[in-house]
């Protein structure tokens, strides 16, 4: 897939990397999508070259001239990938850029990667067009002759969707039907892997407000570390990574002076009480400012979960909460699954991750007595308000 050596015109975009798949089922045997989701000919029939192309492994695609960052095989491995084949002279292609931005942002948290491949026109014009239209996803240029021989691109824009196994599942999709294709593939992937699908309605904020989380979500398997001290409900040593191993962890960012966070404590206590024996650990992270008041607040509001004071707001900076309370959810493997989780969907998300089967580490027996203290893996952070 969009190989590290692509700018040397030596590797493939979509073949190798997607082969290292998450899903082991045979996608070619999976149910197809309705014809009305695709562009058709004058008789209402899909192009034969498109239908014959689907269900096959994505062929190599050599690209150059990256804009908005080069994409490596590691970035795409095991992910669903949308490829937008476009041209610098194609006005509908250019007009679709805002919608492409919305798609790329909306599905980033679900592991979908969006890439634009310019296959016709002047490569020298490509960066200017993308910048002028504020394209926010990676884009590159490819030789039109290669596309003509290896990919059945009959018109622009042509959207192709490749699943996590490297199989072309749809090509020639109408722009307003891409969401439908992605939703079905994500549901299929969830069923095949036993990994819960994170619903977009569970996320707080619109695409613009969530841009701050893009880097964090892109490194979800290596989330920032929790750097806190002055712990309450965590024993003399405080909360350590070993306390959170194998747990679903709900991080609640707040402050001793933030009334909305104080009001949320009753809900957080209830969540810890209802799901603690199933493996949930609620962890409160208090802003540095007036953090000294945490013990008093914990007593006054009867906090029943571990809570600590953020060290110089480093954990806030790393996770990027933009108000208090803000919630972040990590799975049993320590991976960040939801950044900025909506308060109204705390239970939905927690139940979904608790229902996932723990990773097979040779010990399948849960320890019901081990549900008091816990913590995630990571990096560093801050936040205000």
| Local confidence band at 3 (pLDDT 50, 70, 90 cut-offs) | very low
Give phi and psi for 63, each to the nearest 5. -130, 160
Name the least confident of 85-94, 108-117, 153-162, 363-372.
363-372
Residue 150 has pLDDT above 80, yes or no: yes
CA distances 35 to 99, 142, 172, 173, 181, Å, are 22, 28, 10, 9, 12
- pLDDT over threshold 90, residue 319: yes
Q: How confident is the model at residue 144 (pLDDT cuts 50, 70, 90)?
A: confident
Q: What is the pLDDT of residue 207?
A: 73
pLDDT for the residue numbered 77: 85
Q: How confident is the model at residue 28 (pLDDT cuts 50, 70, 90)?
A: very low
Handedness of CA 146, 152, 157, 160 (dihedral sign): negative
The percent of residues above 90 in pLDDT, for the chain, comes to 69
Closest of 321, 284, 285, 287 to residue 303, by C-alpha:
284
227: left (phi over 0), alpha (psi -120 to 50) or beta: beta
| pLDDT at res. 31 | 55
pLDDT at site 360: 53
Residues 17 and 2 sit within 8 Å (Cβ to Cβ): yes
pTM above 0.85, yes or no: no
Of the listed ranges 2-6, 88-92, 233-237, the least confidently predicted one is 2-6
Q: Which residue has the higher pLDDT, 54 or 219?
A: 54
| Token couple for 363 | 């010990």
Q: Which domains does the chain have, with CATH numbers?
A: 6-193 (3.40.30.10), 207-355 (3.40.30.10)
Convert the pLDDT of each residue in 238-287 to its tens digit: 999 999 999 999 999 999 999 999 999 999 999 999 999 999 999 999 99
pLDDT at 6: 33
Whether residue 13 is predicted with pLDDT greater than 50 in this model: the reply is: no
**Mean pLDDT, residues 154-163:** 96
Q: How far apart are CA 20 and CA 11, in angstroms?
A: 16
| pLDDT value of residue 7 | 34
Give the best-scoring range by mean pLDDT among 7-11, 29-33, 166-170. Answer: 166-170
Q: List the one residue out of 251, 247, 271 whose CA is nearest residue 370.
A: 247
Instruction: State the average pLDDT for the chain.
Output: 86
pLDDT beyond 90 at 39: yes
């Amino acid at each position: 897939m969009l190989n590290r050596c692509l700018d040397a015109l030596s590797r493939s975009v979509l073949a190798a990397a997607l082969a290292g798949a998450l899903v082991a089922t045979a996608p070619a045997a999976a149910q197809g999508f309705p014809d009305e989701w695709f562009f058709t000919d004058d008789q209402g029939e899909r192009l034969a070259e498109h239908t014959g192309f689907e269900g096959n492994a994505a062929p190599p695609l050599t690209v150059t001239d990256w804009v908005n960052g080069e994409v490596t095989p590691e970035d795409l491995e095991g992910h669903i990938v949308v490829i937008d084949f476009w041209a610098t002279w194609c006005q509908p292609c250019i007009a679709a850029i805002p919608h492409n931005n919305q798609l790329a942002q909306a599905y980033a948290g679900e592991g979908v990667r969006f890439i634009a491949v310019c296959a016709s026109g002047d490569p020298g014009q490509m960066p200017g067009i993308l910048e002028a239209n504020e394209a926010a996803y990676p884009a590159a240029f490819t030789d039109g002759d290669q596309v003509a021989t290896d990919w059945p691109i009959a018109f622009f824009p042509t959207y192709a969707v490749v699943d996590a196994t490297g199989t072309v599942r749809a090509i020639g999709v109408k722009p307003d039907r891409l969401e439908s294709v992605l939703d079905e593939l994500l549901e299929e992937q969830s069923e095949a892997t036993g990994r819960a699908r994170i619903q977009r309605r569970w996320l707080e904020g619109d695409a613009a407000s969530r841009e701050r989380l893009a880097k964090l979500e892109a490194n979800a398997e290596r989330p920032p570390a929790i750097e806190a001290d002055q712990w309450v409900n965590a024993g003399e040593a405080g909360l350590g990574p070993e306390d959170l191993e194998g747990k679903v962890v709900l991080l609640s960012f707040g402050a001793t002076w933030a009334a909305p966070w104080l009001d949320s404590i009753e809900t957080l206590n209830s969540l810890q009480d209802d799901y603690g024996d199933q493996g949930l650990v609620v962890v409160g992270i208090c802003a540095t400012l007036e953090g000294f008041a945490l013990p008093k607040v914990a007593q006054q509001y009867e906090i029943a979960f571990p809570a600590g004071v953020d060290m110089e707001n480093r954990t806030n900076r790393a996770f990027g909460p933009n108000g208090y309370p803000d919630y972040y959810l990590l799975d049993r493997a320590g991976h960040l699954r939801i950044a900025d989780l909506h308060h109204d969907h705390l239970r939905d998300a927690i139940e979904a991750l608790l229902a996932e089967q723990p990773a097979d580490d040779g010990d399948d027996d849960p320890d019901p007595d081990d549900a008091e203290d816990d913590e995630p893996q990571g990096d560093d952070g801050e936040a205000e308000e």
